[in-house]
Amino acid sequence: MESGTHTEAPKRAPRKGERLEVEIDSLAFGGRGIARADGFVVFVSGGLPGDRVLAEVTKGKKRFAEARTIELLRAGADRLPDRCVHGGEPCPGAPWQGLAYERQLAEKQTQVEDALRRIGGLDDFEMEPIVGALEEWRYRNKLEYSFGAGTPGSADEGVALGFHARGRWDLIVDVDDCKLASEPGNAARNGVREWARMEDIAAFDPGSHKGVLRNLVVREGRRTGQIQTRLVTAPERFPRPPVDLHTTIEGDSGSTDGPTGALGEERLHEELCGLKFEMSHGAFFQTNTEMAERLYAVATEFAGLSGRERVFDLFCGIGTIGLTMAADAGEVWGLEIVPEAIDDAERNAKLNGIENAKFVAANARTGMRPLIEKAGEPDVVVVDPPRAGLSQKIVRRLIETEAKKIVYVSCNPTTLAPNAKQLEEAGYKLRRVRPVDMFPQTPHIECVALLEKVRPTPPREPAEAPAAGSADEPAEPSLGVAAAEGTAAADSGA
């Protein structure tokens, strides 16, 4: 190095707790704004393109940082005024409410396609236009609220019921009208809060372990008009609450799952795709009833059923997808690990007089081979996995079915992409993908993908089989099968 040459010290990455004034350039997958500070990428929650914000770093890495918006210094030129605000803060369930709805749809369409092409390395598939939501607001049929200490001398004195303040686990912002919920749903929440204040029942404090009230879950039958409330509390004695269900939880758990008793209506009743459904309190059901119909209609279209096919419905839950396809199929077999959901599925099949659907309580990985032995190979497999997608072992079981078509209903395109790539390597071809917007005002997106078998599955290199019951590959269980018409199961299952 020549004498006098100056080498500039490398810039330091932002550190946790540091506050930065940054401008948001674009949106990342998951909805956070992308900004840059001294050359480092910063992912900022609460920031939209064009915004200049004061952000606090929550996590510092070598190449990037994560931060949350503390103050909106200057709104972007295209930002819309927030419509859903609680305690002066934007609703945490509507982080994209500042984006025009057309922009939301465009961003989601782009993110689905980008995930498939960039993460999955996929091409030569038809990327179809996104299906927009029927309602941009008041579409949710389920919301969960938290109890907290009210502010002395304010309107929420005594107890607050709403959402956690942005970036806080210890502060609850009281909610009066959440515009993601229907007016009856809001009224039900407010009624429970008034009861708690009238009875002077304190919120549970996880720090001191004192207090009673933890959470309130409000569910709605959009087509039936039913409102179902479930109160979650510590195991303490208090006056009878005006709710349908009561759940008790010990300790510091933030979960809403625990021993539950019925004080009013035990099951939620809903109608979907011309069918009637009943569900237990823990059952999964799409939180946008109207758009669930659109989503399942796309899945049925992609399946292309003629009335003769054998359909496997994996992760079937209470049977919604399989039962809506049953009229167009020869037979439907639903597979689900949660026994209570299988009970609901059987009940729903009876309720609608559907006799060509059977349901199995088993793990998708260990239950598929026994199901093929019992039912035969499927013509079509429908999968609706959680956000984590399909594990490699479940993908292998899926390939083993030799199904002509796989209809993949995804709530996370970043996990759909590698799963679709694995299936293409095994002889399938990704044909069509159609996004469906189930969650306006949020970055979340669902989509339906169609994969078709186009060539034989390449043979796998032989490997030593693990011992039966090993942690890597447990022995395949026998299946407990219950027919839709009420045939008793041989065994309740896996």
The CB density around residue 38, as the number of other CB atoms within 10 Å, is 10
The Cα–Cα gap between 195 and 176 comes to 15
Give the DSSP per-residue string, 31-82.
Answer: S-EEEEETTEEEEEET--TT-EEEEEEEEE-SSEEEEEEEEEEE--TTPPPP
Please tell me the distance from the alpha carbon of residue 216 to that of residue 235, in angstroms, as a whole number: 15
Sign of CA dihedral 68, 74, 75, 78: negative
Is residue 31 within 8 Å of residue 95, measured between CB atoms? yes
The C-alpha atoms of residue 312 and residue 241 are separated, in whole angstroms, by 42
Q: Count of alpha carbons within 13 Å of 92, Cβ hemisphere only?
A: 18
Query: Residue with structure tokens 């990037």?
Result: 64
Which of 91, 178, 411, 447 is flagged as catalytic?
411
Alpha helices in 227-338 (DSSP H): 289-303, 320-325
* Torsion (CA) 423, 426, 430, 433 in degrees, nearest 10: -10
d(CA 332, CA 379): 10
Question: Could you give the CA distance from residue 383 to residue 312 in angstroms, rounded to a whole number?
Answer: 8
Task: Measure the CA angle with vertex 215, ends 210 and 219; round to 5°.
Answer: 165
What is the DSSP-derived secondary structure letter of residue 131?
B
In the annotation, is 411 catalytic? yes
Residues with a catalytic annotation lie at 411
